[in-house]
Amino acid sequence: MIKIGIVGYGHLGKAIEKCIAHFPDMQLFATFTRRDPNSISSHSRVESYDRINEFKDDIDVLILAGGSQKDIPEQAPFLIADFNTVDCYDNHDKIATYYKKMDEIAQANRRVSVIASGWDPGLFSMQRMLMEAVLPNAETYTFWGPGMSQGHSDIVRRIDGVKYGVQYTIPSDKMMEQIRAGQKVDYTPAKAHRRDVYVVLEENVDTEKITKEIKEIPDYFAPYETTVHIISESDFTANHQGMPHGGYVIRQGETSEQTKAKYEYSLQFDHNPEFTASICLAFARAAHHLYNERNFGAKTVLDIPLRYLSLRDHNYLLERFI
Ligand SMILES: NC(=O)c1ccc[n+]([C@@H]2O[C@H](COP(=O)([O-])OP(=O)(O)OC[C@H]3O[C@@H](n4cnc5c(N)ncnc54)[C@H](OP(=O)(O)O)[C@@H]3O)[C@@H](O)[C@H]2O)c1
């Protein structure tokens, strides 16, 4: 049995606790939180993050389920000295720097750190690389959604006067169809997606001012076609509690002149944290495998043999999947 520890009990931490039931070779040892463990309502063991090093011999792989902005950059370099880790760090611009730092510490301490797993980065990264390798003369396009973006929803909720809020990212069907038909498109993320925001407002606030404020948030909303819907609390409670998401990676081009080829990969899931948690767990299996063969250091999803993710033995893989 691979003994798993979870660091952080937010959406992802809770989802790992739940989804591990589908991974028969794994068991949850404990979840570690920076809050008072007694304040956490969980059916499994919860310990204080301050005491985590006391459990270094009880855990094979720690899954870091904290936020990418602040938690992982602070926790991961400290934890990798005593544990093997898996995270789904998703700050795309800083992944190369993060990799270098984690690789140095993991090598020095003879540990394995799987970084930036999840679906994007993660499964989508694997597909983007594979698509380019097999279809060099082509263009790759990534579309996210339709789905609820946790990061954009958080930004909306921080605006004064917003009581509850959620943001859905909607990819352009028209642009996807043009790409699938082999037409040239002027792709930028802002042209390829629109944003639908649903908010419940506090009483006596200026609706127009808040709508304008949301639409003008640089980078997150301003470059996108954004629609803000003001809804009632009962509508929000009844219709906006799910966390569905997904997306598409499409590569369209030619294998030779005038001979077209399209390679498309898509994901749809009802619950973003649960799907991400399941990916982290498969990569925790790979981390354990790498550690057992003394293949230390930081690894991305592109550095790990695919079969290390599987529960199956090599013969089974040969007979069923090749
Ligand atoms: N690569 C991918 O495809 C992918 C996909 C989805 C998500 N992600 C990333 O995964 C990371 C985690 O996402 P998440 O949705 O789980 O974040 P989250 O719910 O905001 O949780 C982050 C941390 O905040 C703390 N926290 C949660 N609820 C709290 C509360 N009520 N009061 C005080 N603290 C609380 C927890 O740490 P403590 O228990 O220590 O307090 C938790 O680990 C994000 O960075 C996200 O971008 C990546």
pLDDT at 30: 98
CB 85 within 8 A of CB 79: yes
Residue of the CA atom closest to atom 25 of ligand 1:
10
pLDDT tier at 242, thresholds 50, 70, 90: very high
DSSP 159: S
**Atom number in ligand 1 closest to CA 120:** 3
Radius of gyration of the chain (CA): 21
Q: Where are the domains of the chain?
A: 2-121+273-321, 147-243
167: exposed, middle or buried (C-beta count within 10 Å: 0-12, 13-18, 19+)? buried
Q: What's domain 2-121+273-321's superfamily in CATH? A: NAD(P)-binding Rossmann-like Domain (3.40.50.720)
User: Is the minimum distance from the CB of 118 to ligand 1 under 6 angstroms?
Assistant: yes
Q: Whose CA is nearest to atom 2 of ligand 1?
A: 118
Q: Please work out whether the CB of residue 68 comes within 6 Å of at least one atom of ligand 1.
A: yes
Q: Does 17 sit in the ligand 1 pocket, CB within 6 Å?
A: no
Is 247 close to ligand 1, i.e. is its CB under 6 Å away? Answer: no
Asked if 20 and 281 count as a contact pair (C-beta separation under 8 A), the reply is yes
Digit-coded pLDDT (tens) for 22-76? 999 999 999 999 999 999 999 999 999 999 999 999 999 999 999 998 999 999 9
Residue 154 confidence (pLDDT): 86
pLDDT at 151 over 90: no
Q: Which of 9, 93, 301 has most ligand 1 atoms within 8 Å of its beta carbon, as the pocket-test mutant?
A: 9
Q: Is 106 left (phi over 0), alpha (psi -120 to 50) or beta?
A: alpha
For domain 147-243, say whether CATH 3.40.50.880 is its number.
Answer: no
